[in-house]
Amino acid sequence: MDIVEVLADAIRVAIGPLAAAYALAAVGLNLQFGYTGLLNFGHVAFLMVGAYGTAITVDQGGPLWLGLLVGVAAAVALGLLFGLPTLRLRADYLAIVTIAAAEVLRILIRGPGEDSLTRGVFGIQRFGNDFFDLNPFPNGEYGIGRVSFTERGLWVLTVAWALVAVFTVLVVLLTRSPWGRVLRAIREDEDAARSLGKNVFVLKLQSLVIGGVIGAFSGMLLAIDRQSVNPDSYLPVVTFAIYTVLILGGPASRLGPIVGAVLYWFVIQFTEGFAREAIRAGWIPESVLDETDIGALRFALVGLGLMLLMIFRPQGILGKREEVLIDAQ
Residues 117-136 touching other proteins, rule: CB under 8 A, are 120-122
- Dihedral angle at the C-alpha atoms of 30, 33, 39, 45, nearest 10 degrees? -20
What SS3 string covers the chain?
CCHHHHHHHHHHHHHCHHHHHHHHHHHHHHHHHHHCCCCCCCHHHHHHHHHHHHHHHHHCCCCHHHHHHHHHHHHHHHHHHHHHHHCCCCHHHHHHHHHHHHHHHHHHHHCCCCCCCCCHHHCEECCCHHHHHCCCCCCCEEEECCEEEEHHHHHHHHHHHHHHHHHHHHHHHHHHCHHHHHHHHHHHCHHHHHHCCCCHHHHHHHHHHHHHHHHHHHHHHHHHHHCEECHHHCCHHHHHHHHHHHHHHCCCCCCHHHHHHHHHHHHHHHHHHHHHHHHHCCCCCCCCCCHHHHHHHHHHHHHHHHHHHHHHCCCCCCCCHHHHCCCCC
Per CB under 8 A, the list member of 158, 226, 274, 278 interacting with other proteins is: 226
Which of residues 70 and 261 has its CB atom nearest to other proteins in the complex?
A: 261
Q: How far is CA 170 from CA 87, 123, 164, 272, in A?
A: 24, 32, 10, 34
Residues 259-318 that bind other proteins (CB under 8 A): 265, 268-269, 272-273, 289, 291, 293-300, 302-311, 314
Measured from the CB of residue 41, what is the shortest distance to other proteins in angstroms?
A: 8
Which of residues 70 and 324 has its CB atom nearest to other proteins in the complex?
A: 324
Measured from the CB of residue 174, what is the shortest distance to other proteins in angstroms?
A: 22
Stretch that binds other proteins, among 53-61, 107-115, 211-219, 256-264 (CB under 8 A): 107-115
Contact status: 140 vs other proteins (CB under 8 A): no
Which of residues 161 and 240 has its CB atom nearest to other proteins in the complex?
A: 240
Measured from the CB of residue 245, what is the shortest distance to other proteins in angstroms?
A: 13
Contact status: 237 vs other proteins (CB under 8 A): yes
Residues 42-101 that bind other proteins (CB under 8 A): 85-93, 95-97, 99-101
Contact status: 327 vs other proteins (CB under 8 A): yes
Which of residues 58 and 101 has its CB atom nearest to other proteins in the complex?
A: 101
Which of residues 56 and 248 has its CB atom nearest to other proteins in the complex?
A: 248
Which of residues 176 and 320 has its CB atom nearest to other proteins in the complex?
A: 320
Which of residues 93 and 137 has its CB atom nearest to other proteins in the complex?
A: 93
Measured from the CB of residue 175, what is the shortest distance to other proteins in angstroms?
A: 19
Measured from the CB of residue 181, what is the shortest distance to other proteins in angstroms?
A: 21
Measured from the CB of residue 321, what is the shortest distance to other proteins in angstroms?
A: 12
Residues 245-264 that bind other proteins (CB under 8 A): 247
